[in-house]
Amino acid sequence: MKDHYPSEKFSAAVDTLATSPRLLQERIADAFSHSLMLLIGNAAVPEDVKEKLAEYDAAWSSVEDVGAQGTISVWASGLSDDEAMDIATWIVEKAFELDRQYWTDEGA
């Protein structure tokens, strides 16, 4: 059976985006910190998702962690509203895509 872990992590990220009262940039930081960064290097992650996660990893790895916030939080706080909405949209779309692939490809 196909590994459901990527779908689970993206679903958790969507939950974070949808239910937190924080600013969108903060919710994105939480989604990556608590769920999506755990997928970096995971063999079950589709290639297109690996590539995008690698881009985000490079982006937050290139910022300085000021005030011990964590580089993901620093990176996300610098996102414009439009950039944050684009990332949130990507997360939601990938969550649905991965869940649909899991259930239809495997008949789980």
- Dump pLDDT digits (tens) for 6-44: 999 999 999 999 999 999 999 999 999 999 999 999 999
Does residue 105 have a pLDDT over 90? Answer: no
- pLDDT value of position 106: 56
Cα(44)–Cα(38) distance, integer angstroms: 12
Phi and psi at 22, nearest 5°, equal -75, 170
- pLDDT value of position 107: 47
Structure letter (DSSP) for residue 45: S
Question: What is the chain's alpha carbon radius of gyration, rounded to the nearest angstrom?
Answer: 14
Does residue 86 have a pLDDT over 80? Answer: yes
**pLDDT tens profile 44-85:** 999 999 999 999 999 999 998 877 789 999 999 999 999 999
> Letter for the amino acid at 21?
P
Domain ranges in the chain are: 5-106
Q: Is the pTM of this model over 0.75?
A: yes
- pLDDT value of position 82: 98
Cα(104)–Cα(53) distance, integer angstroms: 24
